[in-house]
Amino acid sequence: MPEQPRAALPGAAFVERYVEADGFRIRYLEAGQGQPLVWLHGAGGVRFSRAQDLLAERYRVIVFEAPGFGHSPANERSASIRDLARTMAQATTALGLERYNLLGHSFGGRLALWLAIQAPERIQALVLAAPAAILPEDHVRPVTPPESQAQLLYAHPERQPPLPRPAPAVLAKQEALVRRLRGPNRDPELEDKLGSLDVPVLVLFGTRDAMIPPEMGRIYREKLPNCHYILVYDAGHALDADRPEAFVSVVGDFLERHESFVVSQANALINP
Amino acid sequence: MKAAVFSPSPYHGPAPRGTWPVPTDAFSAELAQQSLATSLDNFQLADELGFDWVSVAEHHFAPMSLTPNPMIMAGALTQRVRRARVALLGATIPILNPVRVAEEFAMLDNLTGGRIVAGMLRGTSNEYVTYNINPAESWERFEEALELIVKAWTEPQPFGWQGRYYEYRTISIWPKPAQLPHPPIYVSGSSPESGELAARHRLHVGFAFTTVPIAREAARRFRQQANAYGWEPTPDHVLYRVTAHVAETDEQAYEDLYAAGAAERRPAFSTSNRAVDDAAAGAGYYGRDQATQRARLETHALDQRVALGQILLGSPETVLDRVRWIRDEVGAGIIELIFQPLPQGKTRRAIELFGTQVLPRLREL
């Protein structure tokens, strides 16, 4: 595949703002207009790809930086991921979002699932991108934060633009927080609640995810009453970065039409 | 060592040669039905004689094959061939619907009680014209379709696929294949690209439309690449396809061929439309080793064909000797035979001679 020249780095059009919620000063980055789409990052902190830029053409994309990530002070207060979910819900309220679309990647997918479980009436649609909510029993998080290893994150690291690497102190702070909050590989408390989650859900995994086996997607499909499981070919764990156009195409269609998105609306007419 | 009987189910009747696509103004349904019946009878005979496989393939728009859809022929064979494996070598993947291909293989696998061999090929260059697919997309379509087909065979929950060339929202094929994890997959091993793909995905390889020297080198390269990926191919991982005619004596075998006019040089099927082949080649169809890949398809005089291992011709003893040579040179564990179509029951006789006098001795190899 030929390299595509980029005019600016991913996320360049996003404007940085802050909101007070639950005693935290929460940083977020925002671009686009229309229906709100809240994006929750993975364990490596806020990561921009072309996918958010493309989604910002159709949605008001709000990329939160959860307390304790990036340059925010260490978060000693959130006791569990359920706690953090309640905090993030308050942040969305503080922004005036009554109902919104929600997308979570990896650790952010687990967080997003808890937000949906806690207040499903506020979630229009839920997108779980390589979610870390259901992991193999024997899954072990590597000692080096995997989000700092390009080979583990991407199927095609050579195609990624050079993004600024977080400082070692930031990585260490984030890693400690993630380890405290992430919970067990299989959480019966979480999984028992899935059967009654009345929200349209899309679960996506890259076929070349080297961090979470893409087959885990089938468990969400099995347990959730309104869930579709899509494999993104030749994408790794950061599937939005490996294949942004493909990711946005299917996510965008799902956000528009929810479960009706299984019915093609493509125009195959060659000539009238 | 194993032996298979392959036939493209040719049309036995007058038809134009040296052109593609071939006009059908001279087509006779009666002759086509006789040809297909002969083909089915020969496959059944092979089954009764103890051949390990019977094989069919996919070619379009020419009398050289009356099975443009090998799945349908394999479907007929599920009822006629009760013991041997039924191999499709292969389905031309990039021009087909991968979900449909997955479903068809799974149906066949259940109809045979788990005897299907799933060959997945890119096809000859002209095949892309058949369904108006761009041959420049051949490799990418092939790799993606292969992964999608295996997923469709093995994923227990409905899933969608967001690929480069294939997009599906929800797939859940019924039936699933009978064999676990799925039927054995054979791909061509001839080009560097296909050998590498086979090594990477731990697939079996077949060599057809080639020569022993070219196949020997390609097989060596495949094994080397497999080792690099951490595994060791067995002889069963390598198949070699060759034309064959067996008679009581060497002299008789040669005479049979000359008498039928089968000894003369003929234009190859896929290259008989030079414009199509050149256009496909220009689109990168033959990969980075274009010279060798196109050289495979050159036609030769009979003596050359024998020397290069493109035809086994002679008495059972001579043929056994040549099979042993192919086994040694290429490391093939499966010899796949195209019995030369000849009149007066000679083809049937050749299958019988091989089945009774060569096949038992192959088991010792």
Least confident of A20-24, A131-135, A138-142: A138-142
Give per-residue pLDDT as tens, B112-160: 999 999 999 999 889 999 999 999 999 999 999 999 999 999 999 999 9
Cβ of B159 within 8 Å of Cβ of A264? The answer is no
- The label of the residue with tokens 């919970």 reads A183
Q: What is the pLDDT of residue B209?
A: 84
Q: What pairing do the DSSP bridges indicate for beta strands B167-171 and B159-162?
A: antiparallel
- Nearest to residue B316, comparing CAs of B354, B359, B363? B354
Is A9 within a domain?
Answer: no
Question: What is the total count of domains within chain B?
Answer: 1
User: Which CATH number is B127's domain given?
Assistant: 3.20.20.30
Is A268 within a domain?
Answer: no
**Best mutation target, A134, A233, A248, to test chain B (most B CBs within 10 A):** A233
Is A1 within a domain?
Answer: no
User: Which CATH number is A87's domain given?
Assistant: 3.40.50.1820
Q: What is the pLDDT of residue A6?
A: 52
Residues of B in contact with A250 (CB under 8 A): 160, 162, 167
Give per-residue pLDDT as tens, B56-110: 999 999 999 999 999 999 999 999 999 999 999 989 999 999 999 999 999 999 9
**Best mutation target, A231, A258, A259, to test chain B (most B CBs within 10 A):** A231
Burial class (CB in 10 A: 0-12, 13-18, 19+), B89: buried
What global pTM score does this model have?
Answer: 0.96
Q: What is the pLDDT of residue B259?
A: 93
Q: What is the pLDDT of residue B90?
A: 86
Residues of A in contact with B155 (CB under 8 A): 215, 218
- Nearest to residue B248, comparing CAs of B315, B189, B188? B315
For the segment A230-258, the average pLDDT, to the nearest whole number, is: 98
Cβ of B161 within 8 Å of Cβ of A230? The answer is yes
Residue B177 or A164, more confident: B177
* Per-window interface: B 117-156 vs A, CB < 8 A: 144, 147-148, 151, 155-156
Give per-residue pLDDT as tens, B310-348: 999 999 999 999 999 999 999 999 999 999 999 989 999
Q: Which domain holds residue A156?
A: 16-258
Cβ of B161 within 8 Å of Cβ of A233? The answer is yes
Tell me the pLDDT band of A144, cut-offs 50, 70 and 90.
confident
For the segment A187-208, the average pLDDT, to the nearest whole number, is: 98
Query: CB-hemisphere CA count at 13 Å for A17?
Result: 14
A264 touches chain B (CB under 8 A): yes
Cβ of B162 within 8 Å of Cβ of A247? The answer is yes
Q: Which domain holds residue B216?
A: 2-362
Question: What is the total count of domains within chain A?
Answer: 1
Considering only the beta carbons, identify the residue of A218, A228, A233 that sits closest to B144: A233
Residues of B in contact with A234 (CB under 8 A): 144, 163-164
What is d(CA A243, CA B162) in angstroms, rounded to the nearest whole number? 10
- Nearest to residue B338, comparing CAs of B34, B17, B9? B9
Cβ of B163 within 8 Å of Cβ of A264? The answer is no
Residue of B nearest to A266 (CA): B167
Q: Strand ranges (DSSP E) for chain A?
A: 15-21, 24-31, 36-40, 60-65, 100-105, 123-129, 201-206, 227-232
What is d(CA B151, CA B140) in angstroms, rounded to the nearest whole number? 17
Q: What is the pLDDT of residue B346?
A: 96
Tell me the pLDDT band of A7, cut-offs 50, 70 and 90.
low
Residue B268 or B285, more confident: B285
pLDDT tops 60 at residue B262: yes
Q: What is the pLDDT of residue A142?
A: 78
Residue contacts between A and B (CB atoms, under 8 Å): 59
Is A82 within a domain?
Answer: yes
Q: Please state the three-class secondary structure of B128-173 as a single string.
A: HHHCCCCHHHHHHHHHHHHHHHHHHHHCCCCEEEECCCCEEEEECC
- The label of the residue with tokens 């071939």 reads B22
Cβ of A233 within 8 Å of Cβ of B163? The answer is yes
- ipTM confidence: 0.96
* Per-window interface: B 225-264 vs A, CB < 8 A: none
Tell me the pLDDT band of A1, cut-offs 50, 70 and 90.
low
What is d(CA A123, CA A153) in angstroms, rounded to the nearest whole number? 28
Residues of A in contact with B167 (CB under 8 A): 250
What residues pair up with B187 in beta bridges, in sequence order?
Answer: B205
Cβ-based neighbour number of residue A223 at 10 Å: 16
Cβ of B159 within 8 Å of Cβ of A261? The answer is no
Tell me the pLDDT band of B272, cut-offs 50, 70 and 90.
confident
Is A271 within a domain?
Answer: no
Cβ of B162 within 8 Å of Cβ of A249? The answer is yes
What is d(CA B281, CA B15) in angstroms, rounded to the nearest whole number? 27
Q: What is the pLDDT of residue A5?
A: 59
* Per-window interface: A 225-254 vs B, CB < 8 A: 228-234, 243, 246-247, 249-250
Give chain B's mean pLDDT: 95
pLDDT above 90 covers what percent of chain B? 86
Is A90 within a domain?
Answer: yes
Least confident of A153-157, B259-263, B268-272: B268-272
Residue of B nearest to A204 (CA): B160
Residue of A nearest to B172 (CA): A229
Residue of B nearest to A220 (CA): B157
Cβ-based neighbour number of residue B167 at 10 Å: 16
Residues of A in contact with B151 (CB under 8 A): 207, 231
Cβ of A246 within 8 Å of Cβ of B148? The answer is no
Long-range contacts of residues B165-171, Cβ cutoff 8 Å, at least 24 apart: B165/B137, B165/B140, B165/B141, B166/A233, B166/B98, B166/B141, B167/A250, B168/B99, B169/A228, B169/A230, B169/A261, B169/A262, B169/A263, B169/A264, B170/A228, B170/A262, B171/B99
Dig out the tokens for A238 from the structure: 């950061």
Give per-residue pLDDT as tens, A53-70: 999 999 999 999 999 999
Cβ of A207 within 8 Å of Cβ of B147? The answer is yes
Q: Alpha helix locations (H) across A68-167?
A: 81-94, 107-118, 150-153
Residue of A nearest to B156 (CA): A218
